């Protein structure tokens, strides 16, 4: 690989948009993705806040379209997992990117768009019963719970939106939240409160997920009263926030306490020739629209810096 | 999918094609509405070519076939189950990287 190449790490909306802009600027661009392009959008049943799709659009369809668009302008893709990055010691030198398979790539610039992954609850039973009633993807697994009783854990946008989605299949959805009110946007709250299939359990955390071959019940603790209880469910969908996929950059670029990468307005990180875009970056609003905007800005900044501008 | 190496199995032929197969069989349980299933589909095709003659790579659409997924307790997709001589050797849930699937396949080679 020539060292005037721009490497984009991650194929979600931020990475794909950076690719569209970089390819159109005729920068040799390679997108490295661990599994395949998509990111968190892939598990979103419907995206209703991305402008230009008045009826909403399925997450996977939006990603398919972004990928097709990047390919149209000549995007090169490869599979790989980045395990470490070494920024140039002095200007004119390449960024060195080490992959899990032992290969090291030299690049003229690197845009980090590795996004974020969902958090686990970290309670007994969660790992053991994953895929057997414990789920992190309502659009994937919802249809297995026809006429069933499922719990949703969380109180943010994702938890509430997916609880509403699950009422298409489940006869009853119990939303369990550790606070006494939802954090989700008002529109979603209104929809959830108006839905007769959704009930709410407030101030409560899940202490364990129980069952032998499949999820059978949850042990709950009310944080306010200290009262413990058990609720029978057929499945539990967990949406308790995200963490940035930036562990491999620890010590390489500056991050905040949660591991989100700090950047300036041009998406430059603290290390030369390295930019960050999308959900892995510290910013006030993690959304598809802000991810694509980051991607464009990062590609433009890289273009200027790499001498293509 | 364009790759002819991947075979498609149903509730009807699961026993003959998978459980009674000579070779080990990796079954990808999937559905059209599942984003992560679509994400791993190209990789499944690749594996089918690369392991041709060594492991049979099969796909089962859970929308059209419910009894087999039910029998194996599948409540999440994508789920990959590796069978050898009718026995379950390994089971992987979620969209994972190729390396993890190859580690599983190594158990039957």
The 10s digit of each residue's pLDDT in A220-275 is: 999 999 999 999 999 999 999 999 999 999 999 999 999 999 999 999 999 999 99
A170/A206 same-domain check: yes
In a domain, A29, yes or no: yes
In sequence order, the β-bridge partners of residue A204 are A222
* Residue A185 shares a structural domain with residue A96: no
Residues, chain B, total? 109
Is B106 annotated in the active site? Answer: no
Model confidence at A4, pLDDT cuts 50, 70, 90, reads: confident
In a domain, A129, yes or no: no
Q: Which residue of B has its CA nearest to A33?
A: B97
Q: Which of B30, B66, B76, B92 to mutate to probe the A interface, most A CBs <10 Å?
A: B76
Q: A307 pLDDT band (50/70/90 cuts)? A: confident
CA distance A21 to chain B (A): 23
Q: Is some CB atom of chain B closer than 8 A to the CB atom of A9? A: no
Instruction: Tell me which residue of A140, A238, A18, A244 sits closest to B77, measured CA to CA.
Output: A140
- Looking at the domain assignment, is residue A124 inside a domain? no
CATH of the domain at A216: 3.50.50.60
Residue B41 lies in a domain: yes
pLDDT per residue over A43-101, tens digit each? 888 899 999 999 999 999 999 999 999 999 999 999 899 999 999 998 889 999 999 98
Burial code (b: 16+ CB inside 10 Å, e: under 16) for B9-36 equals beeeebeebbeebeebbbbbbbbebbbb
Domain count, chain B: 1
Residue A122 lies inside a defined structural domain of this protein: no
Q: Could you tell me if A43 and A142 lie in one domain?
A: no
The length of chain A in residues reads 309
Is A117 within 8 Å of chain B by CB? no
For residue A109, what are the β-bridge partners?
Answer: A6
The answer to whether B49 touches A114, Cβ cutoff 8 Å, is: no
Query: Which residue, of A211, A238, A265, is where some domain finishes?
Result: A238
Active site (annotated) includes residue A23: no
Indicate if A231 and A248 belong to the same structural domain: no
β-sheet bridge partners, residue A276: A112
> Which pLDDT value is given to residue A3?
67
Q: Residue B75 is nearest to which of A36, A64, A141, comparing CB atoms?
A: A141
**Are residues A162 and A215 located together in one domain of the fold?**
yes
Q: In this structure, is residue A128 part of a structural domain?
A: no
User: Which residue, of A200, A219, A238, is where some domain finishes?
Assistant: A238
Q: Give the number of C-alpha atoms closer than 13 A to the C-alpha of residue A265, restricted to the C-beta side.
A: 0
When mean pLDDT is compared across A10-14, A27-31, A43-47, A123-127, the lowest value belongs to A43-47
Tell me the shortest Cα–Cα distance from B18 to chain A, in angstroms: 21
User: Which residue reads 């307790």 in tokens?
Assistant: B73
Q: What is the mean pLDDT of chain A?
A: 95
pLDDT tens-digit profile, chain B (109 residues): 455 799 999 999 999 999 999 999 999 999 998 989 988 998 999 999 999 999 999 999 999 999 999 999 899 999 999 999 999 999 999 888 888 999 999 999 9
Could you tell me if A254 and A219 lie in one domain? Answer: no
- Residue numbers of the domain that contains B65: 7-106
Q: Does residue B2 lie in a domain region?
A: no
In this complex, the residue of A63, A131, A145 whose CB is nearest that of residue B93 is A131
Residues 21-60 of B with CB under 8 A from A: 31, 33-40, 42-43
Report pLDDT for B1. Answer: 44
What value, to the nearest 5°, has the Cα angle with vertex A52 and ends B37 and A118? 40
ipTM of the complex: 0.84
Question: What is the C-alpha to C-alpha distance for residues A24 and A33, in angstroms, rounded to an integer?
Answer: 20
User: Which two structure tokens, joined as six digits, stand for A283?
Assistant: 């910013």
**Residue A112 sits in the same domain as residue A196:** no
Same-domain status, A186 and A228: yes
Output the pLDDT for position B98. Answer: 87
- What's the confidence (pLDDT) of residue B99? 86
* CATH code for the domain of B86: 3.40.30.10
Catalytic pick among A48, A140, A180, A264? A140
Q: Give the whole-angstrom CA distance, residue B46 versus residue A116.
A: 27
Same-domain check for residues A229 and A251: no
Residue of B nearest to A11 (CA): B39
Does residue A30 have a cis peptide bond before it, meaning omega lies within 30 degrees of 0? no
The answer on A286 and A209 residing in a single domain is no
Using CA atoms in the order A135, A139, A142, A143, what is the torsion angle rounded to 10 degrees? Answer: -140
A102 and A11 together in one domain:
yes
Q: B84: burial class by Cβ within 10 Å (0-12, 13-18, 19+)?
A: middle
How many structural domains compose chain A?
2
pLDDT in tens, A151-181: 999 999 999 999 999 999 999 999 999 999 9
In a domain, A194, yes or no: yes
Structure tokens at A106: 């030299």
Residue finishing a domain among A194, A212, A238 = A238
Residue A49 sits in which domain range? 6-117+242-305
């Amino acid at each position: 690989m020539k060292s005037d190449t721009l490497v984009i790490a991650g194929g979600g909306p931020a990475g794909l948009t950076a690719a569209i802009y970089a390819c159109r600027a005729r920068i040799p661009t390679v997108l490295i993705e661990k599994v395949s392009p998509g990111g968190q959008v892939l598990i979103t049943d419907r995206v209703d806040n991305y402008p230009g799709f008045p009826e909403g659009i399925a997450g996977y369809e939006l990603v398919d379209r972004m990928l097709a668009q990047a390919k149209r302008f000549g995007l090169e893709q490869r599979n790989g997992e980045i395990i470490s990055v070494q920024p140039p010691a002095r200007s004119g030198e390449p960024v060195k990117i080490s992959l899990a398979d032992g290969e090291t790539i030299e690049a003229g610039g690197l845009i980090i768009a590795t996004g974020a992954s969902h958090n686990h609850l970290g309670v007994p039973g969660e790992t053991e019963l994953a895929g057997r009633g414990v789920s992190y993807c309502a659009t994937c697994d919802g249809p297995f719970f026809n006429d069933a009783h499922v719990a949703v854990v969380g109180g943010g946008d994702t938890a509430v939106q997916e609880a509403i989605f699950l009422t298409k299949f489940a006869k009853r959805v119990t939303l369990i939240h550790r606070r006494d009110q939802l954090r989700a946007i008002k529109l979603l709250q209104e929809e959830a409160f108006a839905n007769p299939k959704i009930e709410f359990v407030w101030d409560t955390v899940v202490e364990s997920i129980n069952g032998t071959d499949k999820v059978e019940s949850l042990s709950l603790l009310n944080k306010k009263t200290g009262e413990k209880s058990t609720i029978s469910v057929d499945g539990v969908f967990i949406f308790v926030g995200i963490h940035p996929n930036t562990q491999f950059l620890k010590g390489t670029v500056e991050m905040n306490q949660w591991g989100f990468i700090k950047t300036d307005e041009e998406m430059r990180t603290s290390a030369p020739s390295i930019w960050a875009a999308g959900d892995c970056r510290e910013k006030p609003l993690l959304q598809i629209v802000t991810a694509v905007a980051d991607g464009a800005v990062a590609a433009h900044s890289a273009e200027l810096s790499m001498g293509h501008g | 999918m364009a790759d002819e190496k991947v075979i498609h199995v149903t509730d009807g032929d699961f026993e003959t094609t998978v459980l009674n197969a000579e070779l080990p069989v990796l079954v990808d349980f999937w559905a059209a509405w599942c984003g992560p299933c679509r994400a791993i589909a190209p990789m499944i095709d690749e594996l089918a070519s690369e392991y041709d003659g060594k492991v049979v790579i099969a796909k089962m659409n859970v929308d059209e076939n419910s009894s087999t997924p039910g029998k194996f307790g599948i409540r999440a997709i994508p789920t990959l189950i590796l069978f050898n001589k009718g026995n379950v050797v390994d089971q992987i849930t979620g969209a994972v990287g190729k390396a993890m699937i190859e580690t599983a396949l190594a158990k039957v080679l």
